[in-house]
Amino acid sequence: MRPRRGVPAIYAPAVTLRFTTAGESHGPGLVAIVEGIPAGLELDRVTLDRDMARRQLGHGRGGRMKIESDAVEIRSGVRHGRTLGSPIAILVANRDYPNWDQRMNPWPVDEEVEESHLPRPGHADLAGALKFGHSDVRNVLERASARETAARVAAGAIAKGFLTAIGVSIFSHVIQIAGVSVPETDELGPEDFADVDDSPVRALDADASVAMVAEIDRLRKENESLGGKFEVRVFGLVPGLGSPASWDAKLDGRLAQAICSIQSVKGVSLGEGWEVAGKPGSEAHDEIFWSEEQGWFRETNRAGGLEGGMTNGEPLVVQAAIKPISTMTQPLRSVDTETKAPAQAMRERTDSTVVPAAAVVAEAMVALVLAGAYREKFGGDHIGDVLAAISAYKERIGWRR
């Protein structure tokens, strides 16, 4: 069909940020490709690797973290520490791979490799094996494993580099592990997170941190795994990121998808989402004020910085609940997929809890969503263009923060 006059046959895509990951948990390594970062952005290798190391922290991790020492290997898109505006390809090696060279080799091997037929309740094993027609559930679990999150953190570290350059900072902390919660806190600012990684469970309250470690040790001895909750907070956002115009442009929905896609996450709350459900309207919203000195402001932040599918300029607050890890040292009841006989689920090396690490992964996912929202709204091929566009926007709306 001939295009109508004046309507181009090919539409140029809007500036956007895309990323994907590839890699199996015990394969040769993980890959991330990030596309849409502007040129001229300075990246710091130490900062990128620090995030990789932060994801490996946390009391309750298993033996794998003693083998791995995750580091970002940039393969394209960066030259002499600055982005080129081209896709950024990142490799994260699996140091464990030599131990799996026969079992996970991309090519046929001489050795007889034993199949696994004992799906774990709670993991992707059974549904994935049925869906893809695999007799060996390892063909599913290798990709479903949370090892994949190392690639997300690598991609997120690039997005964080972009956000840092435009004055946005992202933090996370653990608020609950199994039955132990941190006490209710008042408004937290960026300065409150300075020492969060010093806590073995990444909790801000010292007493809760001690109690969480004790709870992990207690339940680990009972062959239990533990879930919990974490929170991500973001400071320095402009109002108007995202859009109320269409369902898939709404930033709250995009954040919820990004967080729910993290392995083991079962619930997401934006701001005081769960609490306000039980409150009257007069206690559920954030009244609007304006002063010469501050411009637009709120005295509360129950909305967690999100109204109508957009940022409102207040700090973004996202909480998530994650279930206990589904690989159990005392396996649950299952069925052998070959014989259909009752059996115990497979035993694999595992962690007791990954809540502290999941919070770091969530920082990365939130960073990628927000960096994408900034790219859509402000465009620009060079980081200088982006800064100029943000500054012009702040001027137009009278934003004083």
- Using CA atoms, how far residue 64 sits from 26, 98, 147, in Å, is 10, 13, 10
Give the shortest CB-144-to-ligand EPS separation in angstroms: 7
Give the shortest CB-348-to-ligand EPS separation in angstroms: 6
Closest to 149 in 3D by CA, of 368, 369, 357, 372: 357
Nearer to ligand EPS, 25 or 83 (CB): 25
By CB under 6 A, tell whether 146 contacts ligand EPS.
Answer: yes
**In the structure encoding, which two tokens stand for residue 185, read together?**
């806190």
Question: Quick one: CA dihedral 209, 213, 219, 224, positive or negative?
Answer: positive
Among 28, 29, 40, 62, binds ligand EPS (CB under 6 A): 62
Neighbours of 78 (CB within 10 A): 20
Window 80-119: contact mask with ligand EPS (x via CB under 6 A) = ----------------x-----------------------
Helix (H) or strand (E) holding 54, with range, is: helix 45-56
Question: Quick one: CA dihedral 53, 56, 59, 65, positive or negative?
Answer: negative
Among 17, 34, 41, 150, binds ligand EPS (CB under 6 A): 150
| Residue ranges in 332-361 that form contacts with ligand EPS under rule CB under 6 A | 348-351, 354
Indicate the SS3 state at residue 320.
strand
Give the shortest CB-62-to-ligand EPS separation in angstroms: 5
Give the shortest CB-364-to-ligand EPS separation in angstroms: 13
Closest to 303 in 3D by CA, of 263, 255, 257: 255
Among 145, 225, 269, 352, binds ligand EPS (CB under 6 A): 145
Give the shortest CB-124-to-ligand EPS separation in angstroms: 9
Among 25, 172, 269, 353, binds ligand EPS (CB under 6 A): 25
328-332 contacts: CB < 8 A, separation 24 or more? 328/120, 328/223, 328/224, 328/225, 329/223, 329/225, 330/223, 330/224, 331/118, 331/120, 332/120, 332/121, 332/122
Window 240-269: contact mask with ligand EPS (x via CB under 6 A) = -----------------------x------
The number of angstroms, rounded, from the C-alpha of 178 to the middle of its chain's C-alpha atoms is 21
Amino acid at 136: D
Nearer to ligand EPS, 25 or 301 (CB): 25
Among 21, 27, 36, 64, binds ligand EPS (CB under 6 A): 64
From the list 85-93, 105-113, 131-139, 145-153, the region that binds ligand EPS by CB under 6 A is: 145-153
Residues in the site for ligand EPS, rule: CB under 6 A? 25, 62, 64, 96, 145-147, 149-150, 263, 325, 327, 348-351, 354
